[in-house]
Chains A and B, each alone.
Chain A
Amino acid sequence: MTALLPRTIFKPEHELFRDQVRKFVEREILPHRVAWEEAGQVSREAWKKAGEAGLLCPTMPEEYGGAGADRLYSAIIIEELAGSFASGPGFSLHSDIVAPYINAYGTEAQKRSWLPRMATGEVIGAIAMTEPAAGSDLQGIKTTAVRQDDELVINGQKTFITNGLLSDLVVVVTKTDPAAGAKGTTLVLVEATRPGFTKGHKLQKIGMKAQDTAELFFDDVRVPVDNILGGEGQGFYRLMRELAWERMQIAIRNAAAAEAILDQTIAYTRERKAFGRAVLDFQNSRFRLAELKTQVQLGRTFVDHCLDLLLKGELDADTAAMAKLWTTEMQGRVVDQCVQLHGGYGYMWEYPVARAYADARVQRIFGGTSEIMKEIIARAL
């Protein structure tokens, strides 16, 4: 590994945990890659093993099956998966986006019925905001949840939903009062078993081949009003609360993936010969790699700085948007150069760099596009 500045945010406990996670990924994740890519999804068994190993929902309180851990533990899981290019398992969305919603806004009954089983991997979570006609602009959501006595009747369609096929529980963003705009938005917990809820076909993507990104359809799906999460009409507000942390998760992943692919590329160019010497011996290779290493170091320093702010409760939305914007764009540049330095092999799927390249493209799109990040940053100018 090419040396970067020492990281200063982790304690020895964190590093022990990192070792465990790394071993888990090597043992339980990496050997199944090809099978999962073919299936277009990760096996349920892998989720349960991750639960057993304490890799799901670590930041949830112990009474709800978690470990009461700080967010650096989440960061470590994200980093270790990203560092081995394991883009299939949607663990972090499940553990660090969906579960926190339930923990923060759920009733005691909701927490008890879902969180412990999410921590074991028996229940897989998803969050469904995006619709065919509403992505960046969530005000355009059309899925309705209409009250009938003590039930809600849900109709509509969602798309691009991570963990879509495997999901047992979906936090669905609905309109309970379409006339009220943002204030008519409500989060509803919808179990996969509800009649009228169907999952569409598996979406074919450029990368993230083992990730079950799917369409979801809701046709007169009835749920009790008790399934409302965080209050009627509160949805939009709830969605805003943890955006900084949610975007940081993407930044963390990208910083780690960029670092890993840089290491692989250095190793590759050291081995690979052309014109009688190692590819790394060409000045151009060294300069390109020096440029990449510099960017990786800057990304790493910035992400750690933001993580530190996050732990202290000081990370604001526009700084997190900068982290998301900068690291995703940086990763895009890094993987592109790394494919180039691999030559033809870099285009072959069996090489991590090819998959890293394909996986990277979406980072600038989901979790708020780069353009939306710029809107947020520009508002704070």
Chain B
Amino acid sequence: MTRKIFTAEHELFRDQVRRFVAREITPHHDQWERDGIVPRSAWLAAGEAGLLCATMPEEYGGAGADRYYSTIVMEEFARAGASGPGFSLHSDIVAPYLLAYGTEEQKRAFLPRMATGEVIGAIAMTEPGAGSDLQGVKTSAVRDGDELVINGQKTFITNGQNADLVILVTKTDPAAGAKGTTLVLVEATRPGFTKGRNLEKIGLKAQDTSELFFSDVRVPLDNILGGEGQGFYLLMQELAWERLQIAIGAMASAEASLEQTIAYTRERKAFGRAVAEFQNTRFKLAELKTEIAVARVFVDRCIALVAERKLDTATAAMAKYWCSDLQGKVIDECLQLHGGYGYMWEFPIARAYADARVQRIYGGTNEIMKEIIGRTL
């Protein structure tokens, strides 16, 4: 099915991204999986190729591109199973916070170097005792003269080991609940800020998801992002786009898995014929193709809405929940159609399977998505 949301320029960009992935990412991904981290050289290469922070204004090192460009980067990485690089979190979650809420100084200090890959960004909300319910955040930032003193612990932080700059969700006024929440920019070089374990996971093996520790970390008040007590409110602003990013990756991954599985079942023989010739195989593949086609049309509508800044939170929640669930179902069926080879790590479908599971958990669990949709009934 032809997609209608992209222009010719977008498609040219897609070609570039695809070539970049084939040249700079795919050949190294195995090694990065063993290392549990993507090296900075890959970030710098991505920066040079214009793949980081494309939507940031040119004056801050970006290309002033629309969100279709971000979409394309996410899709091409997901298609290739390149789940290691945390580029989209860096470019399409962290950088937009700085752009939208940062002071001129903050923007100048970080955005241009984020666009080159010299500075790698992360955002740290989750704590051991607070995930879905962010009201439970305990990390404190206490004012001391013209400094904040930060104490606490974060976990499951994407780009955690690589991070040079962390947007940290803190409590500046624990008694005030949501209104006591403040975003603070913390540089990795600050004394008292240490990176904990690079966590072992089911999938996303090359992604440096980590614990972060803060022990009397001092930062100037100027490091507050978007105003004291504004944190919770600011975190809500771009949730629709942030969640749609997961749906975008989910669809691209599901589509790629289906293509691989069609090709595989055509080659693979059993009982004297291609596996693709069994009616069960054809029907399963037809079901998956249909599910993907329906969700694709929906996600493309959501992408077009997000580009016009018109996507509402509940519709984005539908996209996140439905597409991540669908990705799980599609890849599970695709793995099945691969037989034993599907269980072998060297086959892309095995990695896609392991990578897919988390999509229903992060970015707000699918249960939380249903809460959000449930409020609009």
Contact = CB atoms under 8 A, between A and B. Distances in A.
A2 B377 contact: yes
Contact of B293 (A280, A286, A322, A373): A322
A139 B117 CA distance: 64
B282 interface: yes
A237 interface: no
Interface stretch (A120-128, A129-137, A154-162, A296-304): A296-304
8 contacts: A297-B318, A298-B294, A298-B318, A374-B286, A375-B283, A377-B290, A378-B283, A378-B285
A266 B377 CA distance: 7
A197 B377 CA distance: 53
A280 B377 CA distance: 9
A113 interface: no
Contacts of A3: 376
A371 B286 CA distance: 10
B270 interface: no
Given A301-B297, A302-B294, A374-B283, A293 B373 contact: yes
Interface string B290-315: 11011101100100010000000001
Contact of B298 (A302, A319, A322): A302
B294 A290 contact: no
Contacts of B376: 2-3, 293
Contacts, number: 92
Interface in B270-296: 276, 282-283, 285-287, 289-291, 293-295
A169 interface: no
A169 B62 CA distance: 68
Contacts of B305: 5
A204 interface: no
Contacts of A319: 1, 293
A293 B289 contact: no
Interface of A: 2-3, 5, 266, 280, 283, 286-287, 289-291, 293-295, 297-299, 301-302, 305, 319, 322, 325-326, 371, 373-375, 377-378, 381
Interface string B170-190: 000000000000000000000
Contacts of A298: 294-295, 298, 318, 322
A290 B373 contact: yes
Contact of A377 (B262, B289, B318, B373): B289
A124 to B, nearest CB: 34
A371 B287 CA distance: 10
Given A266-B377, A319-B293, 12 more contacts: A2-B377, A5-B315, A286-B377, A289-B374, A294-B321, A298-B294, A301-B297, A305-B301, A326-B290, A378-B286, A381-B262, A381-B285
Contacts of A294: 318, 321-322, 373
B282 A378 contact: yes
A291 B370 contact: yes
A321 to B, nearest CB: 8
Contact of B370 (A5, A287, A326, A381): A287
A370 B4 CA distance: 28
Contacts of A290: 321, 369-374, 377
Contacts of A266: 377
Question: 5 shortest A-B CB distances, which residue pairs?
Answer: A286-B374, A378-B282, A290-B373, A377-B286, A374-B286
A85 B25 CA distance: 54
A319 B2 CA distance: 11
Nearest to B283: A374
Contacts of A5: 301, 305, 315
B293 A374 contact: no
A286 B369 CA distance: 11
A288 to B, nearest CB: 9
B318 A293 contact: yes
B66 interface: no
Contacts of A297: 298, 315, 318
Contacts of B297: 301-302, 305
Contacts of B322: 294-295, 298
B144 interface: no
B367 interface: yes
Contacts of B321: 290, 294
Interface string B359-377: 0000000010111111011
Contact of A289 (B289, B315, B377): B377
- Among A301, A375, A381: residue with most chain B CB under 10 A: A381
A381 B294 contact: no
A378 B322 CA distance: 23
B35 to A, nearest CB: 38
Nearest to B321: A294
Contacts of B293: 302, 319, 322, 326
A305 B276 CA distance: 29
B66 to A, nearest CB: 20
A298 B373 CA distance: 14
A298 B290 CA distance: 12
Contact of A371 (B283, B295, B367, B377): B283
A377 B290 CA distance: 8
Interface string B98-112: 000000000000000
Contact of A287 (B291, B301, B374): B374
